[in-house]
Amino acid sequence: MSKPRPLPWDDAEEDHLLFLRDREKLRFNVIGPRLGRSPEACEVRYYTKLFAVNAANHYGKERSGGRPVGGGKPRPRPAAKPAKPVEMKVPPPAEHGGYRAVDLDALRERAELLLRIAERGLTGGVLGDPPPGRSALDERTRAAAAAARSGREGSDVR
């Protein structure tokens, strides 16, 4: 035998649930009997459907469907204003016989970046990380290993 299907929530019940929970600060075990539903059903409805809607409404956004919390008629959406055309200023062509002037500094920087990326990898080349085996952590590990070796070599105790 199947379970009876729960009744769907209507807007008045949702608004009353929001009022009792958010304004009156009541617990779900008190709200449930007042609405004629189980406390678990009220809690699930509040946290899955209404909590985000209430938070969005608090910050001035609309509930999905264009209906503000509290019922009422859907608000008409404002008509979109056409975008103003943007004027772009194009620099005049270079006076070098019609060919495009090459910025040698930019080419040099790009070549150096590509070389660093090839040597150290993407992170090391772009962010300036040291090459593999040359970081402060590697140096500290090497120094600790050397100290441990020198400590063992001079000691007769095993």
pLDDT reading at 7 higher than 50: yes
- Between CA 121 and CA 114 the distance in angstroms is 10
pLDDT of residue 29: 94
Q: Comparing 153 with 135, which gets the higher pLDDT?
A: 135
Residue 69 located in a structural domain: no
pLDDT reading at 103 higher than 80: no
Residue 114 located in a structural domain: yes
pLDDT of residue 5: 65
- Between CA 61 and CA 52 the distance in angstroms is 11
Looking at the chain, the whole-number percentage of residues with pLDDT higher than 90 is 13
| Distance of alpha carbon 27 from the chain centroid | 32
Contacts for 104 with CB less than 8 Å, ≥ 6 apart:
none
The number of beta carbons lying within 10 Å of the beta carbon of residue 3 is 5
Residue 85 located in a structural domain: no
Report helix, strand or coil for 149: helix
Domain membership of residue 24 as a residue range: 11-58
Both tokens assigned to 131: 């090459």
Residue 67 located in a structural domain: no
Residue 70 located in a structural domain: no
Among 8-12, 85-89, 92-96, 133-137, the least confident range: 92-96
pTM for the complete prediction?
A: 0.35
Residue 24 located in a structural domain: yes
pLDDT tens track for 65-93: 444 454 445 566 667 777 777 777 776 66
Q: Are 111 and 103 in contact (CB under 8 A)?
A: no
Residue 89 located in a structural domain: no
- Please give the DSSP secondary-structure letter assigned to residue 82: P
Q: Give the number of domains in the chain.
A: 2
Residue 48 located in a structural domain: yes
pLDDT of residue 77: 67
